[in-house]
């Protein structure tokens, strides 16, 4: 008899996607601790590797090469990724507070959030400059600036190694683009003072050769009007100003009540803070047992010890000590493909040093390209006939990609007896019914989703918006909701934490929509599933599928592509940034869109599992019309077309495609049959009013809205492509 999966009993939360945590997750993917749930919290889907930042700034690496894809990494480690920023840690309640997410509880936590080079005390810095750390926002701003045209004026505040590397990289990048550039490197004391004299002298020579102007012992009074104002009256004009001076901890670390040193979390030789359940590594930590400068080499070498100590803390084993090396090899980029090396007082330069540094950096990043994956167990033999065919060529998708195909669903519904009540009006194709109660019109609908993303709060948001889609599409106002929640096997404490996250996320959305949670049901099962039954009130006849007129324009309020993106996620073949964009789209509510379209829509539906073509056909069939879709006008999520071109698709795609033999098969047309989860509204509106409605939608938070085609007389239900 096969052993059931172990219940999850301990919560490990990793705060920040720094180098140490990235390596820990990779180790976890190869050897996880059974019974432990892992959560990674990071502001975005990627984490830039600091070692390659100067090379990126210089133009030697692309932005994609700079980033560790945390979505893929979390997936292979079977960890949930929360894309948000921690704002506070409360050791007393073992809770982390996040800017865009319900609080998350932990049994063991580790902090690896790096540092910031923000300068809050320097007047005008926040309004005028961009700190070099955190790296993500800086890299995005620089990428845009270096691709502009015309003269370039740059100022870097901070004359340490980091500032010098940036100055030389920027000078090289702008010269490669034939932009006349002035680069200023400003330091309040003597520049490069942390290096031995020989290495500092070599760097000064490299700065001079690249035309960088060095300002030493220069006090800055303020930043204003695209300029750095010095105390001696000098005005340094700059269109791009960055700060690379010093290392500042994030303020919430000191506010945690944990022991700190100059705001950095103090840790012992086992990398524990003053609370033994909380670890800290990388630049945000101060090693009180062996103080060292902030350097990535220490973060990388902390990873094996942190991994062991986290496992031991969760399972009750002994901890190891981390002993940092006394010195480390410094490889400093010189702008072009050359570098300077420094160790034990020795200085060496040349292209070969760059080749050495490049090989080290690429080898580090290759670890996150070649991620370990658990092999798929072979099918048992013997097995019942038809098992392999029923399983299909790929794993079953979650969300709407797991729906039953239209044909099978229609045949099953056709076996039901005719309705016996006269106070119910079924709304075929709308997944809902109109209830007549004491003169009131009440819309009733239900929907549920299997989990396809491991964050329960995100799944609750998506499921809630998804279920509200039918209410909004019919022009009703949400009233009440009951929830049906299946949790995976968890300890009672973890089940309570998870259920609290789900209820909090769902309630926020429902109350914003004007509805309340009035009850529900919970159970344990194999995986997280969230369902909602919702009622809505309508002061007029609901908008249905059947009211569209000849000549009406078709408006879509969201881009499509969630099905193919989430299917590719399951196979590890999608960029994390594209997954993040799809998740954001699925969590966008349609309340405002419904209000804008409500008074003008002749017919309206929400886009879900049957895809754009299927739902458009339902609307056409109910209204007795045909449709022509303008393929190029249909908005697509980032990455969706590229995935379709590679042959990726959802497990529901073949069933959706089967009903449209006349539509040609191209990567773009395949997305017409892509099942959507939490999709947009599809509305038929008077053609003369369509553009005004699009303008209003875009002004009110729906930038992806578009006119995608029109309805006309023709074979009923026929969908044509223009």
Cis peptide before 134 (omega within 30 of 0): yes
Nearest to 528 by CA among 457, 608, 440: 457
- Please state, in angstroms and rounded to a whole number, the distance separating the CA atoms of residues 136 and 116: 11
Distances in Å between the Cα of 576 and the Cα atoms of 84, 257, 572, 607 are 14, 34, 10, 24
400 catalytic per annotation: yes
Q: List all residues 6 or more positions away from 498 whose beta carbon is below 8 Å from its beta carbon.
A: 456, 487, 490, 528
Strand-pairing partners, residue 340, are 332, 349
Residue with tokens 């193919």: 564
Residue with tokens 């299909």: 392
Residue 567 near residue 401 (C-beta atoms within 8 A): yes
Catalytic residue among 397, 400, 616, 620: 400
Distances in Å between the Cα of 311 and the Cα atoms of 23, 24, 33, 315 are 14, 10, 7, 6
CA 591 to chain centre: 23
Query: What phi and psi values does residue 148 have, to the nearest 5 degrees?
Result: -75, 180
Which strands sit side by side in the sheet containing 681-685, from one edge to the other?
603-606, 681-685, 553-556, 706-712, 626-629, 719-721
CA 676 to chain centre: 18
Q: How many H helices and E strands in the chain?
A: 23, 36
- Please state, in angstroms and rounded to a whole number, the distance separating the CA atoms of residues 564 and 649: 5
Residue 41 near residue 14 (C-beta atoms within 8 A): yes
- Please state, in angstroms and rounded to a whole number, the distance separating the CA atoms of residues 314 and 308: 10
Nearest to 154 by CA among 190, 189, 181: 181
DSSP 244: -
DSSP 486: E
Residue 679 near residue 517 (C-beta atoms within 8 A): no
Q: List all residues 6 or more positions away from 130 whose beta carbon is below 8 Å from its beta carbon.
A: 137, 138, 141, 142, 240, 241, 242, 243
Active site residues: 400
């Amino acid at each position: 008899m096969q052993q059931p999966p172990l219940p999850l009993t301990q919560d490990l939360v990793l705060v920040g996607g720094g180098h140490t945590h990235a390596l820990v997750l990779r180790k976890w993917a190869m050897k996880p601790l059974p019974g432990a749930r892992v959560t990674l919290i990071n502001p975005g889907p990627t984490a830039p590797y600091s070692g390659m930042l100067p090379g990126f700034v210089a133009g030697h690496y692309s932005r994609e090469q700079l980033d560790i894809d945390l979505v893929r990494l979390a997936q292979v480690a079977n960890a949930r990724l929360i894309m948000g920023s921690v704002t506070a840690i409360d050791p007393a309640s073992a809770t982390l507070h996040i800017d865009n997410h319900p609080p998350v509880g932990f049994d063991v936590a580790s902090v690896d959030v790096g540092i910031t080079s923000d300068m809050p005390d320097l007047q005008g810095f926040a309004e005028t400059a961009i700190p070099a750390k955190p790296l993500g926002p800086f890299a995005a701003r620089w990428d845009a600036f270096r691709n502009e045209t015309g003269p370039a004026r740059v100022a870097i505040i901070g004359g340490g190694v980091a500032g010098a590397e940036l100055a030389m990289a920027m000078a090289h990048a702008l010269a490669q683009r034939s932009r006349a550039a002035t680069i200023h490197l400003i330091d309040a004391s003597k520049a490069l003072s942390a290096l031995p004299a020989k290495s500092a002298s070599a760097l000064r020579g490299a700065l001079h050769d690249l035309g960088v102007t060095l300002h030493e012992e220069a006090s800055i009074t303020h930043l204003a009007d695209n300029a750095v104002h010095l105390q001696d009256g000098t005005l340094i004009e700059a269109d791009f100003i960055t700060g690379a001076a010093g290392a500042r901890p994030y303020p919430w670390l000191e506010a945690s009540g944990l022991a700190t040193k100059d705001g950095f979390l103090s840790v012992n030789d086992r990398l524990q803070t003053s609370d033994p359940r909380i670890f800290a590594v990388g630049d945000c930590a101060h090693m009180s047992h062996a103080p060292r400068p902030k350097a990535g080499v220490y973060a990388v070498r902390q990873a094996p010890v942190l991994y062991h100590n986290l496992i031991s803390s969760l399972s009750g084993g002994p901890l190891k000590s981390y002993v940092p090396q006394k010195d480390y090899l410094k490889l400093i980029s010189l702008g072009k493909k050359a570098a300077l090396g420094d160790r034990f007082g020795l200085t060496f330069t040349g292209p070969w040093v760059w080749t050495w540094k490049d090989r080290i950096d690429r080898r580090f990043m290759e670890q996150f390209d070649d991620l370990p994956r658990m092999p798929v167990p072979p099918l048992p033999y013997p097995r019942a006939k038809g098992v392999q065919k029923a399983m299909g060529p790929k794993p079953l998708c979650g969300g709407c990609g797991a729906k039953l195909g239209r044909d099978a669903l229609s045949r099953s519904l056709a076996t039901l007896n005719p309705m016996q009540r006269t106070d119910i009006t079924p709304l075929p194709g709308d997944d809902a019914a109109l209830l007549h109660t004491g003169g009131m019109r009440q819309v009733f609908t239900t929907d549920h989703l299997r989990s396809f993303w491991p964050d329960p709060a995100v799944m609750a948001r998506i499921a809630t918006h998804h279920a509200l889609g039918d209410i909004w599409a019919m022009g009703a106002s949400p009233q009440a909701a009951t929830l049906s929640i299946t949790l995976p096997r968890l300890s009672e404490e973890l089940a309570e934490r998870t259920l609290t996250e789900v209820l909090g996320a769902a309630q926020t959305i429902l109350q914003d929509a004007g509805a309340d949670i009035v009850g529900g049901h919970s159970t344990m099962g194999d995986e997280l599933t969230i369902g909602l039954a919702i009622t809505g009130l309508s002061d007029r006849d609901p908008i249905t599928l059947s009211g569209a007129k000849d000549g009406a324009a078709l408006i879509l309020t969201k881009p499509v592509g969630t099905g193919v993106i989430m299917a590719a996620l399951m196979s590890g073949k999608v960029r994390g940034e594209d997954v993040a964009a799809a998740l954001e789209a699925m969590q966008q509510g349609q309340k405002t869109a419904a209000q804008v379209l409500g008074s003008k829509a002749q017919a309206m539906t929400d886009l879900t599992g049957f895809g754009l073509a299927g739902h458009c056909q339902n609307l056409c069939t109910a209204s007795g019309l045909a449709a022509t879709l303008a393929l190029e006008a249909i908005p697509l999520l980032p990455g969706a077309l590229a995935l379709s071109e590679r042959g990726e698709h959802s497990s529901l795609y073949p069933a959706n495609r089967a009903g449209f033999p006349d539509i040609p098969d191209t990567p773009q047309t395949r997305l017409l049959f892509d099942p959507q989860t939490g999709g947009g509204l599809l509305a038929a509106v008077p053609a003369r009013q369509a553009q005004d409605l699009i303008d209003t939608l875009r002004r009110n938070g729906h930038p992806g809205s578009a006119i995608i085609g029109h309805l006309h007389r023709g074979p009923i239900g026929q969908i044509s492509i223009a």
